[in-house]
Chain A
Amino acid sequence: MKSKIAVAFENCKKEKRTALITYTVAGDNTKTNSLKILNTISKHADILELGFPHNTPIADGGQIQGSSHRALKNGIKLKDVFQIIKKFKKTNPSKPLIMMGYFNLIYQSGENNFLKNCKTSGVDGLIVVDLPYPENKNFAKKCKKKSINFIQLLSPTTPRERIKKIIKNSHDMIYYISMLSTTGGKLKVSPKKILQNYNNIKRINRKKNVVIGFGITDKTIKSLKSSDGLVVGSYLCKTITNSLKMGQNPVTKLDKLVYKLKNKTL
């Protein structure tokens, strides 16, 4: 059976558009609101990434750190994250959801136990920021056995031979990091250069869905829409931060923003 992630990409290809992938942090700014946000933005987004926050992230910029900090301050625990996903999946069973975070939380849960919880709550994929190839080989295999997509990352520093190996070990989706940066950095590489790197990856295996993330905002999204998918994360987290500062409702703010982003990809 095809994964929901694969189906989402197929549908986008039929409509000749890039897949819009969002990233928000579970529990930001509250458990209820983060569920509401998922429910609302899923109308416009094709795939949802949900961060499970860690307090010592080594690859996140200020915006996602801020969101994680809010969520943790509100006492979010892994079991809450799974609850949020379960509730979301009840009303949106076909919308793919990817959990994203750092390995220590999986390590402390126990890999098998963590995957069991992923399965029962309906998680479709996993991104583990600090578990690169080949260290992730075993865990990726375990994911596959449970029909959970393990999403491999590629970066501008990844050598070509390594790219080939990683692609071989990838499932339905590959995440290409657009530039040398933590999340939320300003796009310091031209979209042309990013697409050039992207196309080099695609040429190795056309069938793999490759999405681009890091530095994607309402200003840059249009220029990269020829890709299989685009991830917007820090820009959404920043919008939550700003709406809280202004006393606005983050849920409606994000609804409008993701709608706008979607239109720019058409």
Chain B
Amino acid sequence: MNLKIKKGISLIDQHDQNGMWGGKFGGNFIPETLKKPIDDLTKLFSKLRKDKKFLKERDYYFKSYIGAPTPFIKLENLTNRLGGAQIYAKVVSEANGGAHKIYNATVHCLIAKRAGKKFIVGDTGAGYAGKMLSMAAKKFGLKCKIFMGAKDIERQRPNVEAIKKNGAKIIPVTSGSQTLVDAVSECMRYWVANNDTTNLCVGSTVGPNIFIKICAWSTAQISRELMMQVKEEFGKIPKKMKLLNCVGGGSSAMGFWNEFMDTDAEFVGIEAGGPKNSKLHAAPLTNGSKIGILHGAAQYVIQDKEGQIGSTESISAGLDYPGISPLHCFLKDAKRARYTSVNDEEALKAYKLVSSLENISPSLEPSHAFAEAIKIAPKLKSSDVIIVNSCGDSIKDKDIIKRKLGSYVR
């Protein structure tokens, strides 16, 4: 079956009454206890997104608190070094806190305030979702708990420190692989038991339908800004323009692409291929994983024949997730976006090249997207434009980079 994307309707609203995109991705595979809180959140969100006062509030905080718009810059040195396409970056890592996760966190806190909730909980992998939620919770006077895999606590120390400084409580998750997948599970379990007092912020465009919608609606700010910046830079949208974005859960890519959905811009999603010599990866779309149910939603997910969720491996904690947003599954099957993967070594090399040539320092997640840019740019013409979403700052990866490359300079 060929899936089709409708023009003129926001992608997040192109699901059926069961919450499924393309009839097979997403939905609400949740315990009965969560039906009511999710219904409540769904109703509240659909009201708020039409509420002018709420939108004004959102725009105000995006500007005054997050620092919108984030810069759009040309990477002259990288372009000259590679030859071929013109390479640009949308430096989303300049947003308050250092990554795109601040948009979703801010919106969830604003919603929680409207819902009269005093507590908010969230999951985190790379630690940025957790850091931003703890920041926003502090800003808006909510008590906050962050669920994080024990392995990720170990490898993303700077963000762990930031979460603690913001006064949030970190709950280490020691079950399973002790990474993002287990953090999301544990966080959902916590919400099952505490949804009467607590709002949940799922850290990416994953989970039950409404969380995907809220997250993508929040990160869409990135492409709203980019649309204006591109038109200012080129006068119009360039004919051959590629938007490259790493995908783990897929929240930054959804935000980066959203406003360009009905244009000719080409979308390339880059998954984490894992270590070069390992069978493990975090690239369900690239490697043809089957549809399964993870964290309340149907999606392509790394799993065994029986349906047990599979192990993943990636140098980047933020991409180290067996599933992928149902929105990206939809985009893939509708052939609107192309997906590929880049391995750990390529991502590290890309980090090194970009940070040595340019005045930006992408974290290991966007370094995956830069690696793809580096691969394809020389094969393209100078009339081609590549824009990479540099969605996270490398400071959180300083330990890993120091260990792998010998030094970390900032």
Where the two chains meet, the residues of A that have a C-beta atom closer than 8 Å to any C-beta of B are 54-61, 65, 69, 72, 77-78, 102-105, 107-109, 129-133, 135, 153-159, 162, 177, 180-182, 185
A130-B293, A132-B28, A132-B30 are contacts. A58–B188 as well, Cβ < 8 Å? yes
On whether the beta carbons of A108 and B307 are closer than 8 Å, the reply is: yes
* Distance, CA A54 to CA B291, complexed state (A): 16
Q: Which residue of A lies closest to B298 (CB)?
A: A107
A130-B296, A180-B196 are contacts. A153–B306 as well, Cβ < 8 Å? no
A58-B185, A182-B193 are contacts. A177–B32 as well, Cβ < 8 Å? yes
Residues of A within 8 A of B309 (CB): 55-56, 104
B113 contacts the other chain (Cβ, under 8 Å)? Answer: no
A135-B18, A180-B193 are contacts. A55–B33 as well, Cβ < 8 Å? no
On whether the beta carbons of B32 and A132 are closer than 8 Å, the reply is: yes
* Distance, CA A54 to CA B295, complexed state (A): 12
On whether the beta carbons of A130 and B30 are closer than 8 Å, the reply is: yes
Q: Give B14-42 as 1s and 0s: 1 = Cβ < 8 Å from A's Cβ atoms.
A: 00001000000001111111111100000
* Distance, CA A77 to CA B305, complexed state (A): 10
On whether the beta carbons of A102 and B293 are closer than 8 Å, the reply is: yes
A-B pairs, top 7 by smallest CB distance, nearest first, are: A108-B307, A157-B36, A104-B307, A155-B33, A104-B293, A59-B31, A153-B32
* Distance, CA A157 to CA B31, complexed state (A): 11
A157-B35, A162-B35 are contacts. A54–B308 as well, Cβ < 8 Å? yes
* Distance, CA A155 to CA B176, complexed state (A): 28
On whether the beta carbons of B37 and A157 are closer than 8 Å, the reply is: yes
Where the two chains meet, the residues of B that have a C-beta atom closer than 8 Å to any C-beta of A are 18, 27-37, 175-176, 181, 185, 188-189, 192-196, 290-296, 298, 303, 305-309
On whether the beta carbons of A157 and B33 are closer than 8 Å, the reply is: yes
A130-B293, A158-B36, A162-B35 are contacts. A103–B193 as well, Cβ < 8 Å? no
On whether the beta carbons of A59 and B307 are closer than 8 Å, the reply is: no
* Distance, CA A72 to CA B175, complexed state (A): 14
* Distance, CA A129 to CA B185, complexed state (A): 14
Main secondary structure of the interface of B (DSSP, over half): mixed
Give, as a whole number of angstroms, the nearest-CB distance from B314 to chain A.
18
Given contacts A104-B309, A177-B33, 13 further A-B contacts (CB under 8 A): A56-B308, A58-B296, A107-B293, A108-B292, A108-B303, A108-B307, A130-B31, A135-B28, A155-B35, A156-B33, A158-B36, A180-B33, A182-B189
* Distance, CA A53 to CA B410, complexed state (A): 47
On whether the beta carbons of B308 and A72 are closer than 8 Å, the reply is: yes
* Distance, CA A154 to CA B31, complexed state (A): 10
Find B185's partner among A56, A77, A133 (CB 8 Å cutoff): A56
* Distance, CA A162 to CA B18, complexed state (A): 16
Residues of B within 8 A of A60 (CB): 189
Find A58's partner among B27, B195, B295, B303 (CB 8 Å cutoff): B295
Give, as a whole number of angstroms, the nearest-CB distance from B29 to chain A.
4
Q: Considering residues A55, A60, A154, which has the most beta carbons from chain B within 10 angstroms of its beta carbon?
A: A55
On whether the beta carbons of A181 and B293 are closer than 8 Å, the reply is: no
Residues of B within 8 A of A55 (CB): 176, 308-309
Give, as a whole number of angstroms, the nearest-CB distance from B392 to chain A.
26
Give, as a whole number of angstroms, the nearest-CB distance from B391 to chain A.
26
Find A107's partner among B35, B181, B307 (CB 8 Å cutoff): B307
On whether the beta carbons of A104 and B294 are closer than 8 Å, the reply is: yes
Residues of B within 8 A of A72 (CB): 308
On whether the beta carbons of A65 and B175 are closer than 8 Å, the reply is: yes
* Distance, CA A159 to CA B36, complexed state (A): 7
Residues of B within 8 A of A65 (CB): 175
Give, as a whole number of angstroms, the nearest-CB distance from A138 to chain B.
11
Residues of B within 8 A of A182 (CB): 189, 192-193
On whether the beta carbons of A58 and B189 are closer than 8 Å, the reply is: yes
Find B195's partner among A105, A162, A180 (CB 8 Å cutoff): A180
Residues of B within 8 A of A155 (CB): 31-33, 35-36
Residues of B within 8 A of A59 (CB): 31, 33, 189, 192
Residues of B within 8 A of A56 (CB): 176, 181, 185, 294-295, 308-309
Q: Which residue of A lies closest to B190 (CB)?
A: A182
On whether the beta carbons of B29 and A103 are closer than 8 Å, the reply is: yes
A65-B175, A130-B293, A177-B33 are contacts. A105–B306 as well, Cβ < 8 Å? yes
Residues of A within 8 A of B37 (CB): 157
Q: Which residue of A lies closest to B28 (CB)?
A: A135
* Distance, CA A89 to CA B29, complexed state (A): 31
On whether the beta carbons of A131 and B308 are closer than 8 Å, the reply is: no
Find A180's partner among B29, B192, B296 (CB 8 Å cutoff): B192
Q: Considering residues B29, B195, B291, which has the most beta carbons from chain A within 10 angstroms of its beta carbon?
A: B29
* Distance, CA A182 to CA B34, complexed state (A): 11
* Distance, CA A155 to CA B193, complexed state (A): 11
